[in-house]
A and B are shown apart, each in its own frame.
Chain A
Amino acid sequence: MEILKYIGMGLVVIGAIFLFLGALGIYRMPDVYNRMQAGTKATTLGAIGLILGVGFMQPEWIIKTLIIIIFIAIANPLSSHALARAAYRNKQKPYMKNKVDAYEKVVYDNPENKKEEE
């Protein structure tokens, strides 16, 4: 069972690294969407790595940790999606050095949304 322990430790370290990168991204990124990407994508992987690592270190907890991981895998991208969508609809402009805003056509060419703006 020593091997499982070391695998778990490795996973915890990977998770911690990704969580750190997420925090760094929130600090460094230029606009809402990039920050949100750092704060949700990186932390999803970080949290999953961390929790799975704990599950490997304590094998009797593995089922509980898997349930938590499923919950995070559903809830975290979902909430970031909803937040990003709400931010765009409230006219938070993306960072324009990217020069591409593919979502603009989807939102503003839709007749329903034009009605809402009036």
Chain B
Amino acid sequence: MKKYLAIFLLLIVGFYLIQAFNLVPFGANRVGNIDDESTVGAYYLKNTVPKTSVANVVTAIVVNYRGFDTLGEVTVLFLATTGLGSILFRKRKHGEEEERVLKESSQLVKIGSRLLFPFIALLGIYVFIHGHLTPGGGFQGGAIIATGFLLMLVAYKNYKLGHGALTWIESLAGITFAGIGIWGLITGGTFLENNAFPGLGNVNDLISGGVIPIIYIAVGFKVAAELTGVLDILLSIKPNKN
């Protein structure tokens, strides 16, 4: 009886799947043809630069056309960090210092990583500030900054990260992202309305593209804080002695 029920349900699902596939013309290229106005790719390529005045079309799609989706992605990253922290959390005795498993690095590595760290952080900040002009953006810039922190964590056994500061940065960045979205609603547009805030400006200016650069800067800070937190958690686990 159960078997027949399963077959019946599968037939219903299959019927609607075939119906959905029948809506797409067989063999039609729905994405690649740039001259065909009705395809989504052509729409983005034609309208992104005049409508958002952002030179980097990918950024405009990620942050603006699909900004809601990006908000979800950032939330997923936050949840991943929280999950990792709650799984790998180790109860410490009172007064016990957190200790990393790595051995002490040599003096050369310590000094060298201290020399390189500001430049790595600068590169990361550059990447996410220019996210609307050049390839890269918030996620990439944040990852670069996190690698700088990884260098410091590997070099210094007792390198302390301010967990309070990390949490604050993460929360403020998240609030900025959601707040910009709600500001669009307040000013009478839609959620994450593009030209709600500083105005569109000229294409290829540093301050252009409405809320897109601000959102990407917030995303950059958020990703950097989250990935650094993940690295810190992973480096603080003690392996089992047995």
**Binding between chains A and B:** yes
Which residues of A come within 8 Å of B, CB atoms? 71, 74-75, 78, 81-82, 85, 89, 116
A89 to B104 Cα, complex, angstroms: 12
Q: How far is the CB of A67 from chain B (nearest CB, A)?
A: 9
Q: How far is the CB of A34 from chain B (nearest CB, A)?
A: 21
19 contacts between A and B (CB under 8 A): A71-B116, A71-B119, A74-B112, A74-B115, A74-B116, A75-B112, A75-B116, A78-B108, A78-B112, A78-B113, A81-B108, A81-B109, A82-B105, A82-B106, A82-B108, A82-B109, A85-B106, A89-B103, A116-B103
A99 to B103 Cα, complex, angstroms: 29
A116 to B102 Cα, complex, angstroms: 12
**Given pairs A74-B116, A82-B106, 5 additional interface contacts (CB within 8 A):** A71-B116, A78-B108, A81-B106, A81-B108, A85-B106
A78 to B108 Cα, complex, angstroms: 7
Give B105's nearest chain A residue, CB to CB. A82
Q: How far is the CB of A72 from chain B (nearest CB, A)?
A: 11
* Interface size, B (range): 10 to 19
Q: How far is the CB of B177 from chain A (nearest CB, A)?
A: 33
A89 to B102 Cα, complex, angstroms: 13
Q: How far is the CB of B242 from chain A (nearest CB, A)?
A: 16
Q: How far is the CB of B191 from chain A (nearest CB, A)?
A: 41
A85 to B119 Cα, complex, angstroms: 25
A89 to B113 Cα, complex, angstroms: 21
Interface hub of A81, A82, A89 (most chain B Cβ within 10 A): A82
Q: How far is the CB of B103 from chain A (nearest CB, A)?
A: 7
A81 to B119 Cα, complex, angstroms: 21
B79-115 CB contacts (< 8 Å) to partner A: 103, 105-106, 108-109, 112-113, 115
* Chain A neighbourhood of B109, CB < 8 A: 78, 81-82
A89 to B109 Cα, complex, angstroms: 15
